[in-house]
Structure 1
């Protein structure tokens, strides 16, 4: 049922009692309850009109004398008619009140007339945003209980660093604005992972007060040490395209075993990435991706680690290079941490948005810098399963009241939070004033109305595009960097001709057989593989891909299905979305990291919903398997549902 358009002064408790056979006590009931019961009895016989007209009929009923109303109820009451009336009330969006609301009688004006604004006022009273906070400027803003507590805590302890755990949809961005408003005299460094998050801060605050930059930018600035020419050079290097064959040639990387030089370079790039997100001082065998270790002999592993170390040295060298290697922001942050440099002392306070995505090296930099550090994030949204907590001396606060989701989502989210390993946090609390509608769709089909469909990875999107070709739904891919079409073509060439793939998702694999061995647990991959064999090898992948424009995502209610990975849209919310079944697939969840990654993926996807959310009809079965999988190994192949 949708949120009621108006409410009858009849409690849900009383209506439940009447529905099971209790007779109404016409003497003890208030005149408003008597009128409400009479209205329910008559409702199936009334013509369906607009909600306001239906409400006026009830208001007119209240103009009759109490004795007349009681007499009418005593002579007309029927349990069967009452139950039929309750069903009709639900159908025409008429709600019932709780017992306390009936007793408070705020639905009646002081002079005794019906309050037609009661539904709006009642909904507002249920809402989470109900506490007033007065800014230093005198402006009054309204906050949720948890938002207010955090702001008051910061206001009373301006010199203390605070790490705030804020569940999805709890209003982190709004609270950040309030925190900034508390510090008009301070020089603030505002850090975020990407430029779009900085735009609203730059628009509201002058650069003299708030210096809003990305992690990459601050790392580059500090590593350059005031040398503007070097800073400009490092910035240009960060924008260089990545080519594994060029990387191998420039860094002098040689083939290893049956891997050519380009594939070794791709593997080394993955080794360096794992190293950069750790707090380790040097590259070792432990940084080789786990899905590659068993394909390398012990001696080959040592050669790979040495090659990655050599590549890392060349990437981070400041010596003049005529043809430099590409370096990304996370490389520079790691380089900054290893240099033991800290943030400039001219900064008083550091504020970090999306603190859950801080890498270990960035946390280390912040923890040893002299400034007050305030981070807002949601550890349950760390999609890599490697949330890095701050130093224990930092104050910790929580925000758990969602301003985005209604009560219908609580039972889908809290079971996930309860299973996160080594984590303790407040349960997710929904805003009672918000409508979240939960529905199902067939896992092997499309939702019944165009939705933003969230998937786990490239294989999930490929799988949906195959389904789209069969069902002709006109689906398009949310693909900001235009990387997905090359992935489709790379898969086909890899499968048919063993041609070296360049896409990062598959570049490190030396053969399709190796890729299959690592991905056979993934039903979406298996469906793609079978399609490549039966259809792709004959007709290719042309025509599968359509790219969605940003405008199609703007209001979250697209005119055609839009496919996106959770990572791509993890900072968005959608009035109408669907959860893809591939988000539930897993290989082995006995590792705390793997379990955290899987739970974070589902939690982040589900909490993007701000309206209607479609779950696959296999949700209960799949989620039960995940929550019981901590002691299980990978699912046997006999349990895989190919659905091709």
Structure 2
């Protein structure tokens, strides 16, 4: 049995589709409502109803299976003797509310329902119609997607799925060629990286990741096999700062995320003057945004095309001055020539700077480059990698590019796809495939869910606090703030995902201080707004923001927030987890709820906004292994956005 595939679950002969129907029945039941179900299905339904009691009694998995076998035997005897029907007996004892409670507890007891096809096949019964105690072992072997066996360079055996094996065969015989693997969520990208590293154990491959969180997760998963790993930003910093004859490339404290500088101070230090009718501070803000836009392109210098849309009229001379100021802002950020300006410098600045210096390439010490989550690669980072001599293997999923459109590798690079999920069941297709189809920049094959896994899809009309362990995913800090208050007010036991914890308190307090006292915010997401009015104008179409604003109008203050903060479980082990999609982007979660703020309307022909919206929904939904909870109108909403596209 391959180590990648572990299955400690017990299985009940009932599908989630049937379970949802049974949970929706209304007592009292008549026999006719249950006659279409088999003895095994009805026995499983009765057992699920008793799960809370069995859980309190600490009944083992083997004990639960014996109880199921006994119920099936009772049903079989009743049907064979024709004294009474088993469905009639079940109708008397069945309680939809108790059944629903038991259904919610299955996952915590490592009990799974079977896919509909497997229930119909009824391989879990012997020829006589009794429960087959060998079924679980047989089913796990049959369900194992890792069927293809290979040996590493050290003669260690490993296993791959059939689609993965085809990719690996290509790599094994041509490991000096570049390759891009488009792999949908849950198809085993990390396992493929593990396989590549094992096959290159006698070489020096460098693994690159977008964030330190991603890199740490890879190190935890891969262990000593990951000998050399860096983030995109740390690689750029290492290469830029290795030349000690260029001290102005040393970032120092300017490179810390906590270091900020207002646009007003930046304008003063850079000597910016008014342009047209806009103030120096506004000029600095516009130029800063132009620099950020420039850092995500392959342009060699900043031009008018990098500036944000402006509802202002500029003369040709005004534009020339703005472009000059933006390039000055850029140059004084990456290699300051004047002391005392001290503009903040971020990872995207360093990566762009690196891409513009053709003499800087990757050390020959590294023999191969493997890029995890390559959809996060910016165009400048790809430009750098393409000029390096090492063969580069990029593994990613364009549908998970949360920042908009993903940069594409050249047409000469080998392109391959994997779409068979090893994480979620076929039910997930009804949630994710409409999003994949509607995504404006992702032309990829639809996801194929695992035939032997079950993933429960639940729909809601109005969002409510889940009554079972679930991770709630929102779009932004506004949704995070709104749901934090909702959970706190509802007395829920909840924690924030690690990524959400980092600046959440600062964000909320900055909002409160800005609203009540006009204090300029320091939080990176609020820093550019000098007044609440400008903030409200920017987010006026954001429902979560409007809900927060309404709360502030009623007097919500920092003391209220601190009291709510006391209800947060700091150990991260609460049954309800809350975070943004970006906080969960590299996680596998048992149960996921997507909130309505993720379904924001997309403007017609706004490809970037549409890409971000669909990527966030897809990324959030694809984190789920066993259950995904989504708005009931998701499919119709996706279709509507597709029509707009």
Q: What's the TM-score bracket when you normalise by the shorter of the two chains?
A: 0.7 to 0.9
1:631 and 1:56 mapped to 2: Cα distance? 51
Of 178, 184, 190, which residue of structure 1 is paired with 2:195?
A: 178
The residue number in structure 1 matching 2:393 is: 374
d(CA) in 2 for partners of 1:202 and 1:4? 31
Contact 1:441 1:448 in 2 (8 A): no
1:574 aligns with 2:574: no
1:613-628 correspondence to structure 2 within 5 Å = 613-615=628-630, 619-628=631-640
Q: Contact (CA 8 Å) 1:492, 1:540: kept in 2 or not?
A: no
User: For 1:263-302, what aligned pairs fall within 5 Å after superposition?
Assistant: 264-290=283-309, 293-294=310-311
Q: Does 1:52 align with 2:65?
A: yes
Q: 2:93 & 2:448 partners in 1: Cα distance?
A: 29
Aligned partner of residue 421 in structure 2, secondary structure: coil
Deviations 1:328-349 (A, max 9, x none): 1111110111122332344321
- Give, in whole Å, the separation in 2 of the partners of 1:568 and 1:44: 39
User: Which of 419, 425, 447 lines up with 2:444 in the alignment?
Assistant: 425
Structure 1 residues 426 and 598, CA gap change in structure 2 (3 angstroms): same
Which of 535, 542, 548 pairs up with 1:515?
Answer: 535
CA distance in 2: counterparts of 1:436 and 1:344, whole angstroms: 45
Give the TM-score, by structure 1 length.
0.78
Distance (whole Å) between structure 2 residues aligned to residue 97 and residue 581 of structure 1: 29
Deviation string 1:149-186 (CA, Å, 9 cap, x unpaired) is 22222112212111001111222112101101112332
Secondary structure in 2 matching 1:411 = helix
Q: 1:49-77: CA deviations, max 9, x gaps?
A: 85333354489799xxxxxx999848568
Aligned equivalents of 2:335, 2:43: Cα separation in 1: 82
CA contact (8 A) 1:40 1:82 kept: no
What SS is found at the alignment partner of 2:554?
A: helix
After the TM superposition, which residues 488-503 of structure 1 pair with which residues of structure 2 at under 5 Å, given as runs?
488-503=508-523
Equivalent residue for 2:548?
Answer: 528
Q: CA offset at residue 493 of structure 1? A: 4.0
Aligned partner of residue 443 in structure 2, secondary structure: coil
Aligned-partner Cα distance in 1 for 2:240–2:558 = 53
Q: 2:43 touches 2:68 (CA, 8 Å); kept in 1?
A: no
Contact 1:164 1:377 in 2 (8 A): yes
Contiguous gaps of at least 5 residues in structure 2? 1-8, 19-30, 55-62, 103-110
Match of 1:483 in 2: 503
Aligned residues: 592
* 1:148 lines up with 2:161 in the alignment: no
5 Å-filtered alignment, 1:288-437, equals: 288-290=307-309, 293-294=310-311, 303-317=321-335, 319=337, 321=339, 324-340=342-358, 341-437=360-456
Secondary structure (helix, strand or coil) at the match of 1:189 reads strand
Give the Cα–Cα distance (whole angstroms) in 1 for the partners of residues 577 and 43 of structure 2.
46
Counterpart of 1:242 in structure 2 is 260
C-alpha distance in 2 between matches for 1:308 and 1:168: 39
Confirm or deny that 1:585 pairs with 2:605: no
What's the secondary structure of 2:449's corresponding residue? coil
Q: Report what 1:164 is aligned to.
A: 181
Deviation at 1:446, TM superposition (A): 2.0
Match among 580, 588, 596 for residue 565 of structure 1: 580
| In 2: Cα distance, 1:99 partner to 1:436 partner | 14
Question: Is contact 1:259–1:510 with CA below 8 Å preserved after alignment?
Answer: no
Q: TM-score, normalised by structure 2?
A: 0.78
Q: Distance in 2 between matches of 1:42 and 1:312?
A: 66
SS of residue matched to 1:5:
strand
Q: Greater CA deviation, 215-224 or 158-167? A: 215-224
Judge conservation of contact 1:187–1:349 (CA < 8 Å) in 2. Answer: yes
Shift of 1:249: 4.3
Q: Deviations over 1:235-269 (max 9, x none)?
A: 65422612225544443345667876555544433
Q: In the TM superposition, what whole-angstrom CA distance separates every residue of 1:453-493 from its partner, at most 9, and x where no partner exists?
A: 21111221222244346534465544557423333333334
Report the Cα distance in structure 1 between the residues aligned to 2:614 and 2:385, rounded to whole angstroms: 27
| 1:485 counterpart SS class | helix
- Alpha-carbon spacing, 1:495–1:117, altered in 2? closer, same or farther (3 Å): same
The superposition leaves residues 419-469 of structure 1 with CA deviations (integer Å, 9 ceiling, x where unpaired) of 122432121122234342333456353222353221111221222244346
1:161 and 1:373 in contact (8 A); partners too: yes
Residues 543/477 of structure 1: CA separation in 2 closer, same or farther (3 Å cut): farther
Distance (whole Å) between structure 2 residues aligned to residue 416 and residue 58 of structure 1 = 42
Does the Cα contact within 8 Å between 2:148 and 2:161 map onto a contact in 1? yes
Residues 373 and 354 of structure 1, relative CA distance in 2, 3 Å threshold? same
Q: Distance in 2 between matches of 1:235 and 1:446?
A: 45
Q: Distance between the aligned counterparts of 1:39 and 1:451, measured in 2?
A: 27
For residues 39 and 462 of structure 1, the distance between their equivalents in structure 2, rounded to whole angstroms, comes to 43
Separation in structure 1 between the aligned mates of residue 344 and residue 272 of structure 2, nearest angstrom = 15
1:203-231 superposed Cα distances (whole Å, 9 cap, x missing partner): 86779x94322212222232235438849
Q: Secondary structure at the match of 2:422?
A: coil
What do you get for the CA RMSD once the two structures are aligned? 4.5
The farther-off stretch of 493-502 and 341-350 is 493-502
Residue-by-residue CA offset, 1:526-569 (whole Å, 9 max, x unaligned): 2222222233489875545569677416xxxx24x443111222
- Per the alignment, residue 29 of structure 1 pairs with none
| 1:117 corresponds to 2:117 | no
What CA deviation, in whole Å up to 9, does each residue of 1:118-160 have, x standing for no partner?
1242144124333333323232223222222222221122121
Residue 355 of structure 1: how far off its partner (Å): 0.2
Q: Secondary structure at the match of 1:398?
A: strand
